[in-house]
Chain A
Amino acid sequence: MEKLGGIFNPSSPEMEALSSLTLYTIVTTVGILLLIVAAMIYIIIAYRKNPDDNQEPYQNFGNLNLEIVWTLIPCAIVAVLFLLTCNTMKVVDPPVGDHEPDIIIIGHQWWWEIRYPKSGVITANELHIPAGKYLLARIESVDVIHDFWVPELGRKIDAIPGHPNHMWIVAGEPGLYIGACAEFCGAQHANMHIRVIAETEEEFKEWEKQELVIPPTPRTGLAGNGAKLFQEKACMNCHTIMGTAAAARVGPNLTHLNDRQTIGAGVLTNTPENLNKWLTNPQKYKQGSLMPNMKLSPTEVEAIVAYLEALK
């Protein structure tokens, strides 16, 4: 049997607290539902009218004591739930204090920009974190409201223009945790995935070092051609490639595209063939995406793919 995701696979201390509160509450309230169902079944069996019986039943107008009892019982249930709510909030959302954020996550229509202000790394759609370490994330948006949600790691938090939010992120074990934008944000809300890649401390350090390398720009061959096309074909109007004149922040930073698992915030696996398909017509795979079909010829596409693949 495949493993159930989300709440059934909590992978951080925060999510464990959230998961158990949610499941216990649901089980308790389902218990209440079952009591009512049992009462209804009894009523349906015991008090069904016999067609030959023309007597009206005893006319009962109410009972004050019963009303008081069944007002007080839900009061008690609510009080307990509220106390559990307060306790869980402390675990899930510890105070930020005067911490500087370790990560800045910025929602864009329809991808995530991820910045590590302490090291200067900038990437997109894939959040690398060292497992077991609490990192403070600041969540922002540059356009409409998005919502950052990785179901196995923790709570949802909105990314709102003009209203930055903060949240602690932690993953218990190394692994891949897939999330998505949870607040409707337009045409491609469905394809705004986020991948959290939790690694060991060493792997994370290694990755960070790798991301800071400025790759040399190829000058010759197909890749060299691609580098030129990247500048000429308006790619640089939206994208950044470190070490070149391309420094725009409209689309994802492509310097280390090679290291990412997917293209288009999760619509395609990142392989040269898929990159080729994507550049030929991104609208086919992500209809409504802000990346237009640049009407590149197959040879141009091949050259740009070769260039992006050569950046290491």
Chain B
Amino acid sequence: MSRRLPLVPENTEPLPSLKENQGMLAWVSSVDHKQIGLMYLMVTMVFFVVGGLEALLMRIQLSQPEFNFISPEVYNQLFTMHGTTMIFFVVMPFLIGVGVYLVPLMIGARDMAFPRLNALSFWLVVFGGILIYYSFLTQSGAPDMGWFAYSPLSEKPFSLNKGPTYWALGLLATGISSVASGLNNIVTILTMRTPGMTMRRIPLFVWMILVTSFLLIFVIPIIASAFAMMLLDRLLEATFFTPAHGGSAILWQHFFWGFGHPEVYILILPAFGIISEVIPVFSRKPIFGYEFVAGSTVAIGLLSLGVWAHHMFAVGLGDVTNLYFSLASMLIAIPTGVKVLNWVATMWGGKIIFATPMLFATAFIIEFVMGGITGVAIASVPIDWVVTDSYFIVAHFHYVLYGGSMFAIFAGVYYWFPKFTGRMMSETLGKWHFWLTIIGFNMTFFVQHFLGVMGMPRRIYTYQDFPYWGSMNLISTIGAVVLALSVLVFMWNVHVSRKRGKKAGNNPWDAWTLEWAAASPPAVHNFDLVPPVRGRRPLWDLAHPEQPDEPNAKVVD
């Protein structure tokens, strides 16, 4: 009998086991998707606080005209780092992290397709963040050219400080991380689904993560190569983006927004996914128009690749170019509108339970539509000429990214916290958090629409005492303080609930997707036995054998 050599040699030493208490080592060395997911969430929480403090300092500086609280140099560093942090180290890794935790559970898999690549992705985000924040300790301080790093301002001789170099290096690291996560998600979703879990049955959150992952692997290489060129310019005297030496100042903008606009959808599509899970469960109805919600996501993903120059209407690219990008951008409103109406229709006729996750999901719809309608308006070239680079834009994208992404993130945390920890979050503190967020958020950003159309440019560290500017900015600053309070309440809630929250059980919300069939928190191997999947809502089918979603579904085992 011939004996084949094993592909992987047998271990002679026992592998570290999670059953032994190894403290931090169990986390640092982990390749388990749940531990990595939780580490993503913890790291983003730290960055969220840091980025929030940066914003708060800026708001204090702007609370009155010609205020001398921080110097222009520091202000410019703060807004650069605030934008960079919130996008690359809060919203993006949070959504990737929550995806890493949930995708294998939702499709009934044991782990991600490439667990070690998964760990690499996570640690690259951490190291990228440390690299960028280290620049605060250098003599010349943090990067101060804005998160968009327009050339030639980000080039020598206009930025001789080291900040932009750290910035490009750190983001290059997180870029590699994002591409790796994207690939990992795609392979996991396409190949590791439990029997019966067809692509028409995967939860909508998984659909959104899939589309986001394709966007990641399409667009991150654009910005990664632009970072490499910027580093060549800065360190080796190349001249890609320096017009004085034959380069092009506009080229950077094409690269940056070629990545930057799809990035917006990378930041919002998984948030749509969270909303598409929360709303049905708390309305006690299936999602209205599953195919249309999934299909519109694909449409948004594809369209988002062809709209970047709507960030460049003031550059002077010519009418034909401007009109193409204007129309393409407006078209995105259509699939987005379809989604919103499907969520509303899901709630219609339901029996809605307004627990904290649902409060945030309900408010998400309104706040996001607010950001969406201003988004349609600024896709029109002449309107963009009026409002671009003004506070109107600041208001617009905070409605999308805070009122949209962050509200969905809060909904998701309240919804899945019982799964993550085995304990419920406090509903009382949750409602305090919700109402403080609603008041603080709208107070901060609503008035900024008016400031913008009245002529206040973005990224200014101070302003003159024009009529109403002072009072509107003061309102905005007070709102920011309330918003900061709301985050404190949220952190406190996480802290106390983790230790003393009510025991959750496997399925506290009576939800229908597979992650709720696992223990809370799930065992290392996720499922002892994956429930049979004969429809989109396996746990509904189990609880209502008399009324399955797909009565004629074939049994697959």
Residues of A within 8 A of B (CB): 2-8, 17-19, 21-22, 25-26, 29-30, 32-33, 36-37, 39-40, 43-44, 47-50, 53, 55-63, 66-67, 70-71, 74-75, 77-78, 81-82, 84-86, 88-89, 92-93, 109, 143-145, 147, 149, 151-152, 154-158, 160-163, 165-166, 178-191, 193, 266, 287-288
Contact of A60 with B288 in the complex, beta carbons under 8 Å = yes
Contact of A156 with B385 in the complex, beta carbons under 8 Å = yes
Contact of A6 with B455 in the complex, beta carbons under 8 Å = yes
**Contact (A61, B150) CB under 8 Å given A5-B467, A78-B333, A161-B243:** no
Alpha-carbon distance A149/B380, docked complex (angstroms): 18
Contact of A22 with B288 in the complex, beta carbons under 8 Å = no
- Other than the given A25-B383, A162-B249, A190-B461, 11 more pairs (CB < 8 A) read A4-B468, A36-B365, A36-B366, A43-B347, A57-B283, A67-B292, A149-B389, A156-B388, A157-B316, A180-B460, A187-B73
Interface residue? B502 (CB, 8 A): no
CB neighbours of A21 from chain B (8 A): 380, 382-383
Which single member of A30, A61, A78, A182 contacts B334 (CB below 8 Å)?
A: A78
Alpha-carbon distance A152/B386, docked complex (angstroms): 10
Q: Mark B349-368, 1 if CB is under 8 A from A, else 0.
A: 11111100000001001100
Contact of B389 with A49 in the complex, beta carbons under 8 Å = no
CB neighbours of B57 from chain A (8 A): none
**Contact (A22, B383) CB under 8 Å given A6-B453, A47-B347, A47-B352:** yes
Alpha-carbon distance A287/B70, docked complex (angstroms): 11
Alpha-carbon distance A193/B350, docked complex (angstroms): 55
CB neighbours of A187 from chain B (8 A): 72-73, 76, 144
Contact of B468 with A49 in the complex, beta carbons under 8 Å = no
Distance between A231 CB and nearest chain B CB, rounded to angstroms:
28
CB neighbours of B365 from chain A (8 A): 36, 40
Count residues of B near A (Cβ-Cβ below 8 Å): 88
Distance between A166 CB and nearest chain B CB, rounded to angstroms:
8
The 4 A-B residue pairs with the shortest CB-CB distance in the complex, in nearest-first order: A162-B243, A151-B455, A190-B460, A155-B385
Which residue of the partner chain B has the closest CB to A37? Answer: B366
Stretch touching chain A among B29-37, B121-129, B222-230, B324-332: B324-332
Distance between A65 CB and nearest chain B CB, rounded to angstroms:
11
Contact of B314 with A47 in the complex, beta carbons under 8 Å = no
Distance between B339 CB and nearest chain A CB, rounded to angstroms:
10
Contact of A184 with B458 in the complex, beta carbons under 8 Å = yes
CB neighbours of A82 from chain B (8 A): 326-327, 330, 380
Distance between B13 CB and nearest chain A CB, rounded to angstroms:
53
Alpha-carbon distance A56/B282, docked complex (angstroms): 11
Which residue of the partner chain A has the closest CB to B332? Answer: A78
Interface residue? B146 (CB, 8 A): yes
CB neighbours of B169 from chain A (8 A): none
**Contact (A85, B152) CB under 8 Å given A40-B362, A49-B352, A49-B353:** no
Contact of B457 with A155 in the complex, beta carbons under 8 Å = no
Q: Mark B40-76, 1 if CB is under 8 A from A, else 0.
A: 0000000000000000000000000000000111001
**Contact (A62, B369) CB under 8 Å given A156-B388, A187-B76, A190-B462:** no
Which residue of the partner chain A has the closest CB to B388? Answer: A156
Alpha-carbon distance A197/B316, docked complex (angstroms): 25
Query: What are 26 contact pairs spanning A and B, CB under 8 A?
Result: A4-B467, A5-B467, A8-B453, A22-B383, A36-B365, A40-B366, A47-B348, A47-B350, A56-B351, A57-B283, A58-B349, A62-B291, A63-B289, A78-B327, A85-B323, A145-B152, A155-B385, A157-B385, A162-B248, A162-B249, A163-B250, A163-B316, A184-B76, A184-B459, A186-B76, A190-B460
Contact of A39 with B330 in the complex, beta carbons under 8 Å = no
Contact of B349 with A57 in the complex, beta carbons under 8 Å = yes
Alpha-carbon distance A157/B381, docked complex (angstroms): 12
